[in-house]
Structure 1
Amino acid sequence: MSKAHHRKKQPEAVRHLLLEVAAGLCLEKGTAGITLDAVAVAAGVSKGGLLHHFPSKAALLDGLLDDLMDRLDAAIHQAVIDDPEPRGRYTRAYLKVCFVTGGMAEEGRWKAMTIALLGEPQLRARWRRWVEERSELYAGTDSSVECELVRFAVDGLWLASVLESQSIGPEREQALMRRLDQLTRS
């Protein structure tokens, strides 16, 4: 008999657990590994409990993307606020948050989401809107070719990290960071 009815209700903790489990399954098995049954079993919740938070696999993936984008927005926003130089500050924030090893606290979840983005058109469309909205929001300070180049470089470095196609040592990483930062200021 399930002991779920004896547990204290903690909907946010359960929601967070479900997102963590979904990300782990995605990393391990790809998006095909994210089934509602598999997530419920791995999280130790009833399927009804899962469906209460996420009524479909698409809703679960959307929830994971929403959570990650909210966290990314908060980290970038803080880095923008902390940067006294207006020109290129969004791009430097993007560089700081997305490229630095360990800079994205949810690195494993982002790797899982990147896998999902590659395979799910509706997620790619949402990510594209996020990128376009930020480009419009910061067009006054970050529309130079140099800033755009830096953001493309950061995206490429992130994809290389996800695919584990390149190994960059700490010294080389710092050299790349310095050079990309310089480009945002030219």
Structure 2
Amino acid sequence: MTLAHKRPKDPDGVRRGLLSHASAIAAGKGLNDVTITAVASAAGVTKGALFHHFANKDALIEAMFDHQLQQLDVRLDALMDADPIHHGRFTRAYVLSATSVGDDDRETWGALSSVLIPGSDLCQRWYAWLDARLDVHQTTDSGTHLEIVRLAADGAWLMAITRTAICDMERLRERLTAMTSP
């Protein structure tokens, strides 16, 4: 009698793997190619296993988006922790993050941005995330001046993810960061 090797259960690992493979597909081929079949195959699991974690493709895309936001939170928190000046700290971290998008993030955010249309669930998720962050940092990052800097950073982020270099990004980063000083 032969005993079959049984893989240890690791639902969190499977979920992370599914999100990682979905992000890789989105980054490499675009969001349209993020299909249930493609992601399950890339992750080495059945479609049923994928459906255990995500009800459908929309739920998978939302989870990818939430994962990107969680990574952004980690990056912003680390940048803020390293910043000794309290006034404008969140805005400076936001500018630094928006103007230094890495290749992996650029491709994934680029794919996800295609569904960030006004009124969409993901667009509402983005604004809810930003509103929550701004609520936390209202004593240090409120005011029209810093809002304008963040909006300019959004434009720089869009240039970065679309690889539209109409200005010197490093110089823009320096100028926007300087505008956050008290």
TMscore range, shorter length: 0.7 to 0.9
Counterpart of 1:127?
126
**Aligned partner (choices 170, 175, 183) of residue 179 of structure 2:** 183
Number of equivalenced pairs: 178
- Retained in 2: the 8 A contact 1:92–1:184? yes
Instruction: Report the CA distance between 1:129 and its aligned residue.
Output: 0.7
1:39 maps to which residue? 39
Question: Are the equivalent residues in 1 in contact too, given 2:27–2:104 (CA < 8 A)?
Answer: no
Structure 2 counterparts to residues 1-186 of structure 1, below 5 A: 6-102=6-102, 106-118=105-117, 121-166=120-165, 172-186=168-182
What is the one-letter code of the residue matched to 2:77? Answer: H
Contact 1:87-1:141 within 8 A present in 2 as well? yes
Q: Which runs of 5+ in 2 are unaligned?
A: none
Matches of 2:12 and 2:24, distance apart in 1:
18
Give the % identical residues. 35
Pair 1:157–1:93, CA change in 2 (3 A): same
Which structure has more helix as a fraction of its residues? 1
Q: Distance in 1 between matches of 2:118 and 2:23?
A: 14
Q: CA contact under 8 A between 2:99 and 2:170: conserved in structure 1?
A: no
Shift of 1:29: 4.5
Query: Structure 2 length normalisation: TM-score?
Result: 0.84
Residue 99 of structure 1 contacts residue 157 of structure 1 at CA under 8 Å; is this kept in 2?
A: yes
RMSD after superposition: 2.4
Q: Is the 8 A contact 1:23 1:109 kept in 2?
A: yes
Point out where structure 1 has 5 or more consecutive residues left out of the alignment: none
Normalising by structure 1, we get a TM-score of 0.82
For residues 129 and 46 of structure 2, the distance between their equivalents in structure 1, rounded to whole angstroms, comes to: 33
Aligned-pair distance for 1:6? Answer: 4.4
